């Protein structure tokens, strides 16, 4: 009799303990699935913010320059206009791109070196992607870069160098040695490729800064058929 009772009691204990293990295993599976779904959702969100389409990364479908030439000539810009007229490209905009930009404050001779300086047409830049102005709000490049010496800087430069809208600096391109007064007209919180340490200014400012009438050395191009456009442009020496 004792043997029967012992066997029944032992069986119930084993079933109870086994059920606990099953519940623990079930909960582990549930939490594992929840964690996987959460991490996947987070990864997709980060990917959408950081992994850009090529045209968004460079601000257009294609970026062009002329090998062994310091600037884009009138004839070369005419070629772009002809390609736009025949539909090979849908639009383009010139840029005065420099990595030798420096600036200093009026009361200091210490030079500060941003990574990039970009002379642009504020009515057309960028052809793709976004350049977000955080200060002043509800405005754009076309309203900020209206006069010679007007500049827009990225937020990291503003924070690192304690710059704000309205501040005066002296801007120079070390390849040309000319220094001009500049005024911070706006602060950009984001750029097409999400990179900071940039200063934007108009072609008019670039021509004063780089001492020349033809200072553009880079082109952004949009096209309905980028591969076809690329072949046509390469055939013309781009």
Q: What is the DSSP string of the chain?
A: -HHHHHHHHHHHHHHHHHHHHHHHHHHHHHHHHHHHHHHHHHHHHHHHHH---HHHHHTSSEEE--TT-SS--HHHHHHHHHHHHTTS-SEEEEEEEES-EEEE-TT----B--SEEEEE-TTT--SSS--EEEESSS--HHHHS-STTEEEEEHHHHHHTT--TT-EEEEEETTT--EEEEEEEEEEEE-TTS--SEEEEEHHHHHHHTTSS----EEEEE-SSHHHHHHHHHHTT-
In terms of domains, do 65 and 162 share one?
Answer: yes
In terms of domains, do 24 and 62 share one?
Answer: no
- Average pLDDT of the chain? 82
173 and 143 Cβ atoms separated by less than 8 Å: no
pLDDT at 118: 93
In terms of domains, do 87 and 185 share one?
Answer: yes
- As given in the structure block, the two tokens for residue 6 are 């012992």
In terms of domains, do 96 and 189 share one?
Answer: yes
In terms of domains, do 32 and 66 share one?
Answer: no
Which domain does 26 fall in, by range?
Answer: 1-51
pLDDT at 46: 47
Q: At what angle do helices 226-235 and 74-85 cross, to 10 degrees?
A: 140
Once rounded to an integer, what is the mean pLDDT over residues 69-98?
90
pLDDT at 193: 81
pLDDT at 186: 95
In terms of domains, do 174 and 93 share one?
Answer: yes
Residue 109 banded pLDDT, cuts 50, 70, 90:
confident
In terms of domains, do 96 and 184 share one?
Answer: yes
pLDDT digits (tens, 9 = 90+) for 19-38: 566 666 656 766 666 766 66
pLDDT at 134: 93
Once rounded to an integer, what is the mean pLDDT over residues 183-206?
92
In terms of domains, do 87 and 33 share one?
Answer: no
In this predicted structure, the answer to whether residue 123 has a pLDDT above a threshold of 80 is yes
Question: Could you give the percent of the chain with pLDDT greater than 90?
Answer: 40
pLDDT digits (tens, 9 = 90+) for 43-70: 555 444 444 455 555 567 888 888 888 8
Which range among 10-24, 151-165, 176-190 shows the weakest confidence by mean pLDDT?
10-24
Once rounded to an integer, what is the mean pLDDT over residues 121-150?
90
In terms of domains, do 45 and 163 share one?
Answer: no
Number of domains the chain contains: 2
Once rounded to an integer, what is the mean pLDDT over residues 198-210?
93
In terms of domains, do 218 and 160 share one?
Answer: yes
pTM for the predicted model, two decimal places: 0.74
In terms of domains, do 76 and 22 share one?
Answer: no
pLDDT at 42: 56
């Amino acid at each position: 009799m004792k043997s029967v009772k012992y066997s029944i009691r032992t069986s119930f204990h084993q079933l109870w303990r086994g059920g606990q293990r099953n519940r623990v295993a079930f909960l582990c599976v549930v939490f594992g699935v929840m964690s996987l779904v959460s991490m996947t959702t987070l990864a997709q969100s980060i990917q959408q913010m950081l992994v850009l389409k090529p045209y968004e990364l460079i601000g257009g479908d294609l970026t062009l320059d002329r090998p062994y030439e310091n600037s884009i000539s009138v004839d070369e810009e005419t070629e772009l206009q002809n390609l736009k007229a025949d539909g090979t490209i849908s639009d383009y905009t010139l840029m005065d791109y420099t990595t030798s930009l420096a600036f200093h404050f009026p009361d200091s001779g210490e030079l500060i070196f941003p990574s990039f300086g970009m002379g642009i047409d504020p009515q057309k830049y960028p052809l793709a992607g976004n350049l977000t102005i955080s200060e002043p709000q509800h405005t754009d490049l076309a309203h900020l870069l209206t006069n010679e010496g007007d500049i827009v800087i990225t937020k990291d430069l503003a924070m690192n160098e304690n710059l704000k809208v309205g501040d005066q600096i002296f801007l120079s391109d070390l390849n040309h040695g000319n220094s001009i007064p500049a005024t911070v007209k706006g602060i950009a919180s984001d750029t097409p490729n999400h990179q900071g340490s940039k200063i934007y200014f108009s072609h008019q400012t670039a021509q004063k800064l780089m001492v020349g009438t033809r200072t553009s050395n880079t082109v952004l191009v949009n096209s309905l058929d980028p591969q076809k456009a690329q072949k046509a442009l390469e055939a013309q020496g781009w």
